[in-house]
Structure 1
């Protein structure tokens, strides 16, 4: 949709998933370090989370496709009628389609099925690549500022696609997972920024041919990523601190239980010795 809502919808999608990944990934890694068996001892709770994540991703993709197709000025499922109909909406629908495929891959990987390891990461990487591929040919013959602000989005998109592709082969690598979280948050906030610039809510339009505006938007992009890194760093720190506190609070209970067991064993041994002496 060529309006603010059309940019806010994918922006919300990416921001929420990036925010969730910045909590989920460090939580999984810290849990693995606590368990003697590592990943083999991961509880079913995390599998259920992956299943819910896949369902939500598929649902968001379906909502995006329906929104692009059946808005009042949308193509309503028609692609050609003497000429191409609303190709911009069709491109957005294609983007959502591949993220829906990624959600289906997440669902399959959450069940004990004979699927290749890393299929979920590979499908997400392909979805991001298709998004960048579509946006690259999305802004030709546009005004200078319009073209530039969309080209900056491609940095985050292709960066996320490359890092997620690496995750398919180098699994459970914390830095790659945190980088994916940061660029997802960056995509989310930048979609909102594109909406505010191209479709301002206050009605004051930007000068799309001004080089000063291009310079400001470039600097603003760096600020967005700094904010994304800050969010990821705070979430990572909070998760690590919380799990450490829970571990410390749980340890005294274990020690008390061990002491009670030792005292019980000692008293049992004494009773047996007394019975043997009497005999």
Structure 2
């Protein structure tokens, strides 16, 4: 081959690359991805085409040859909407309950209620019931992984290695949250176990969640990676708040901040389900459009604001309940406490 023909051929290739890149960036909504029995995209027929791989849309930091190899061996998005909605409900319910419990303890202690609602025995029973509820939620999640959403029905060799690894990641998440429920049950029944073990297991569960989701998006598209990165961020912050609570006991602000992060996780799981697996035949999101990332970043902030609104409304309701209802149930005790408080105030004034 002569030098002139070699130069002309490569010149033509480099002239065509910008056209291919422009077409890839302005492509419409991606078509469904054909996959084989192992859950992998078929070469040259998936959402990530050769042109998109060469243009660097999938992984801009890769050279064209590595991008082509990635496009050939990339994976499809595995999951469904119920698989994200179910943990979303779990996180939202448990976050709402944790905020309710923290506010109730704080309000009862602030108003010095001696009624049964603020007693230590009641909160021990609530910790026991909370542990049972968390263990039940994790068992429901594990059963759903096995028998629903195309699960293997306890026959592991029926799955491809790729699906098996993804299912094992979700199973690990449920297992560590199950340990949290077991710790709550033991701490409420065995007096020799320190209560701080609950906060330690809670921080471990959320740290494991952030670590698993950080390594959960290999070979996926841009928007899919972004929504999971935000989930990693909020789960890590939740674990960090729980660990700080383990070091500094009984701080209402830290407890409410941790509850707000858990509420945000619940709502964000629902948002991920709507983005990746739109229910009811709705229009699919363009997973390669950067405008969708900008829109979801704003939505993430508004969901966090919604979590604070929920906690604020919960605080107002519990405060009203303690002040107006519990005083009617034990007026003599409240009157006695008022007399003691007045005497203490008069002594301080003297």
TM-score, structure 2 length as denominator? 0.68
Distance 2:204 2:266 in 1: 18
Matched, 1:64 2:141: yes
After TM superposition, give the deviation of residue 95 of structure 1 in Å: 0.3
- Residue among 105, 113, 118 paired with 2:191: 113
Contact 1:186 1:225 in 2 (8 A): yes
Partner residue of 2:238?
A: 160
For residue 154 of structure 1, report the CA deviation from its aligned partner.
1.3
Offset of residue 80 of structure 1: 6.0
2:260 aligns with one of 157, 182, 206: 182
1:209 aligns with 2:288: yes
2:300 to 214, 221, 228: 221
Aligned to 2:318, which of 235, 239, 243?
Answer: 239
How far residue 252 of structure 1 moved from its aligned partner, in angstroms, is 5.1
Larger relative helix fraction: 1
In structure 2, runs of 5+ residues without a counterpart are 1-77, 338-350
Partner Cα distance (2:252, 2:81) in 1? 35
Indicate the structure whose relative CO is greater, using CA pairs within 8 Å and at least 6 residues apart: 1
Gaps of 5+ in 1: 259-279
Tell me the equivalent position of 1:173.
251
SS at 1:110 equivalent: helix
TM-score under structure 1 length normalisation = 0.84
8 Å CA contact 2:223–2:289 kept in 1: the answer is yes
Are 2:209 and 1:131 equivalent residues in the alignment? yes
Task: Write out per-residue CA displacement over residues 68-101 of structure 1, whole angstroms, 9 at most, x where no aligned residue.
Answer: 1222622344556896252211111110000000
Distance in 2 separating the partners of 1:44 and 1:254: 19
Does the 8 A contact of 2:200 with 2:242 survive in 1? yes
2:100 is aligned, of 10, 20, 23, to 23
